[in-house]
A and B are shown apart, each in its own frame.
Chain A
Amino acid sequence: MSQRTVDGPQLSRRSALRASAGALTAAGLAGCSALGGSGDVQPISDDALTIWHAMGGGNGEVLQGLVDDFQSETGVNANLVFQDSYEGVLTKTLGALDSGEVPDLAQIDSLFAQQVLATGSVEPVENLLSDSFPVDDFLPNVTSFFSLDGSLQSMPFNNSNAIMYYNRTAFEEAGLDPDSPPTTLAEVRDYSETLVDEGVTEAGITWPNHVWFIEHFYSVDGQTLVDAKNGHGGQPSTLHADTETAREVYEWWRGMAADGLYSNPGIEAWGEATSTFLTGNAAMLLTSTSFVTGARNGAEENGFEVDNAFYPTVDGDRTGPVIGGASWFVPSDLPDDRREEIGQFLEFMASPSAQITWHKGTGYYPIRRAAIDQLESEGWFEQNPMYRTTFDQLTQAEETTATKRMLVGPARQVQTTIQDTSVELFDGQVDIDEGLAAMKTSVEEEFDRYYS
């Protein structure tokens, strides 16, 4: 700026601006650095627990019901705030942890667990539970993912796997036996061909193009997706895209798409996929076990009989699905009275009765053995075979490194790379080996950048 001395007031205004800009920069840079100090953390609301979640539609209503029950039972106020998607919750939570104005609980998807843990700004939920709380009563397959060094970091709440739903009525119309659904990729293809040739549906199968489904193809085939024990044994550095599993899956996918047997709903298009299935455009659907209740209701509305079956294997050998769904994370350094109330909430949500209500209303697993025992004694699983199937898929799974969902830092980048390259692969835009190699290189770069 010029150095004219004539402009009295103007010059002082300019230097005032410069000074305030300088102050802001300093404040800004200070804000840039990682949050280490305690006492900086403030809950969003003074008189209620703020709970950020991603449960929309019917599941959201069940959650609200549970929260209402919690409020009437304990007298603690709680506000559920819907953030549209797990990605939405993640972004807001990371921003909140950075700025210091935090929710009391955030529902973080298992894919993003590593990123949140890496901030160092969350408290292991085990510290918030009362001593008498039976931590051993949790299902081991579920809790092992969410624990570090034996200590439970976040409270599992809505956990699920992917599973295959199919339209029994369509099967019958096409001359297929609804009691023996396909179990391998090749069988899925055969069934699809029959369904489409008979003109019963427009496509055989659909599923949202989300990395979770690739993870399942791998885990069911006993193959880890990344190295370092799928990220649980250290920092992963590469993607296992150059394996038999990958090649078989993508070649199958490409063939299905080319022959019109696969309907593409879009990237991460959960809703579009279920719509495609419910409106009868596709006879088979791969999606979450949390959709059981929705599937039942939707099928009724659309006039067909629905059923589910284990996720198809690549070639007949089945290891098991990966855990999905989310858990409650709690920011650290909250005041003690808050922590107590949060502990009450966590215990309530993990109580057998809440778990049973949640399971029946959605399809997510009850993670407490006590809850499962009660459901079994009620005969619930006998009367509701679809819920039984989802459960069996979980309990019959082998516990190996492949069935522990990957733990990666740059989760969103890896997810997007895999999803975008998948489109190129199944649409035939690139050669299979080329596409897989490109995917591998990109992911390696992302790991390198994140972990260095």
Chain B
Amino acid sequence: MSSVATLPDRLGEYTEQMVAETGGDTRDGLVERLSLHALALGAVLLLVLPVVVAAIVSTKPTGIVTSVADLVPGRSGAANYRRALVGLGFWRFMLNSFVMAAIIVVGKLLVAALAALAIVYYRLPYKNLVFLVVLFTLMLPVPVRFVPLYRLVVELGWNNSFLAITVPYLASATTVFILRQHFRSIPSSLVETAKLDGVGPLRFLVSVLVPMSRGIIVGVSVIMFVYAWNQYLWPLVIIDTEGQQVAQVGLSLLRGQASSGEIAWSMVMTGSILTLLPPLALLVAFRKPLLETFTLQQR
């Protein structure tokens, strides 16, 4: 409905608003805003540059980069990535990481959803105690228990198997916590309706809770995927053979080979970029649900 006639007025209003926001002379305001941008840009560049350099180096044949002038993307990109994936077998590391992360994500979601369902929607004596018992496991990170855990897993015969790098992760205090918080934010009116309809717990989970939790489920899945994908210490300890090793530890093998001059440092960067891509892709694709889930976790 705006017409050209009101344009000067709107422009005037806009300028006034800008002046008010910057608290004074528009010229000063402009300088201040530009310097803000400069600082922000600088900060963000510091955060981004190292990996950009790594990406560029990953396309070079040797990885000898002595000055910024050398930072032109090289020609060996395709050759390097092909060599890393096939020649050095990195595809297997990535596949192992994928399988491990996928099992952990699906498994944890299921296990935690069931647990949260019980904690929130069941009348249970000592429910809070149970919840605390689960929560307390946050105080027991891998380093505190990995010596006996190693022995236990070896006794179970699970060393070098996917069981070893998935099952111990399936009980997740943070996931149960997040789902519980989220379930508690679902209006009780919906819950009561379900009760009146005589819905059983699993139907309730599938037809009521899940549709209401799509964002959270996606967010939590990304968090769990990133966590699982980035695991280093436990796979280092429990997996001996290259065939079962995950990408993170595979990187240290690459590093060893580069140090001894068997492969060029650029290959290490290639491996690094490969290892970085899946979680990054998920982060970028699902940043909105992810951010929502994070803020939920805080409360």
A interface residues, Cβ below 8 angstroms from B = 2, 4, 6-7, 10, 24, 27-28, 31-32, 56-58, 81-85, 88, 92, 95, 98-99, 101, 269-272, 274-275, 278, 298
Contact = CB atoms under 8 A, between A and B. Distances in A.
A289 to B, nearest CB: 16
A275 B242 contact: no
Contacts of B260: 56-57, 270-272, 274-275
Contacts of A6: 125
Interface in B248-293: 253, 256-262
B257 A57 contact: yes
Given A10-B126, A274-B261, 5 more contacts: A28-B155, A32-B151, A88-B240, A95-B159, A298-B261
Contact of A57 (B154, B159, B242, B262): B262
13 contacts: A2-B126, A10-B125, A56-B257, A57-B257, A84-B256, A88-B240, A95-B154, A99-B155, A270-B259, A270-B260, A275-B259, A275-B261, A298-B261
A52 to B, nearest CB: 8
Contacts of A31: 151, 154-155
Most B CB within 10 A of own CB, among A32, A85, A271: A271
A55 B4 CA distance: 79
B52 interface: no
Contacts of B262: 56-58, 271
A272 B259 contact: yes
B246 to A, nearest CB: 14
B154 A82 contact: no
B125 A56 contact: no
Contacts of A298: 261
A365 to B, nearest CB: 21
Nearest to B240: A92
B155 A81 contact: no
Contacts of A27: 155
Interface of B: 125-126, 148, 151-152, 154-155, 157, 159, 240-242, 253, 256-262
A234 to B, nearest CB: 32
Given A28-B155, A31-B155, A271 B259 contact: yes
B151 A271 contact: no
B126 to A, nearest CB: 8
Minimum-distance CB pairs A-B, first 3: A271-B260, A271-B259, A57-B262
A6 B262 CA distance: 68
Contact of B256 (A32, A92, A99, A271): A271
B1 to A, nearest CB: 67
Contacts of B259: 269-272, 275
Nearest to A277: B261
B252 to A, nearest CB: 8
Contacts of B126: 2, 7, 10
B155 A82 contact: no
A14 B261 CA distance: 56
Given A82-B242, A84-B253, A99 B261 contact: no
A274 B260 CA distance: 7
Contacts of A32: 151
A277 B251 CA distance: 24
Nearest to A58: B262
A101 B262 CA distance: 32
Contacts of A99: 154-155, 157, 159
Contact of B125 (A7, A82, A269): A7
Most A CB within 10 A of own CB, among B148, B155, B261: B261
Contacts of A101: 157, 159
A20 to B, nearest CB: 12
B258 A271 contact: yes
Contacts of B155: 27-28, 31, 99
A130 to B, nearest CB: 31
B275 to A, nearest CB: 18
A92 B239 CA distance: 9
Contacts of A82: 242
Nearest to B253: A84
A271 to B, nearest CB: 3
A331 to B, nearest CB: 15
Contact of B261 (A24, A92, A271): A271
B190 to A, nearest CB: 28
Contacts of A275: 259-261
Contacts of A58: 262
Nearest to B155: A31
B159 A56 contact: no
A84 B236 CA distance: 12
B242 to A, nearest CB: 6
Nearest to B129: A2
A32 B261 CA distance: 41
A12 to B, nearest CB: 15
B260 to A, nearest CB: 3
Given A56-B262, A98-B154, A274-B260, A81 B242 contact: yes
Contacts of A81: 240-242
Nearest to A272: B259
A169 B261 CA distance: 21
Contacts of B241: 81
A285 to B, nearest CB: 12
Nearest to B258: A271
A194 B155 CA distance: 60
A165 to B, nearest CB: 14
B271 to A, nearest CB: 15
A56 B256 contact: yes
A83 B256 contact: no
Contacts of B159: 95, 99, 101
Contacts of B258: 271
Contacts of B151: 28, 31-32
Nearest to B157: A101
B151 to A, nearest CB: 6
Nearest to A103: B240
B256 A28 contact: no
A2 B133 CA distance: 14
Contacts of A24: 152
A151 B9 CA distance: 103
B241 to A, nearest CB: 6
B148 to A, nearest CB: 7
A430 B154 CA distance: 43
Nearest to B260: A271
A50 B155 CA distance: 20
A6 to B, nearest CB: 7
A375 B157 CA distance: 47
A94 to B, nearest CB: 11
A7 B260 CA distance: 63
Contacts of A28: 148, 151-152, 155
Contacts of B261: 271, 274-275, 278, 298
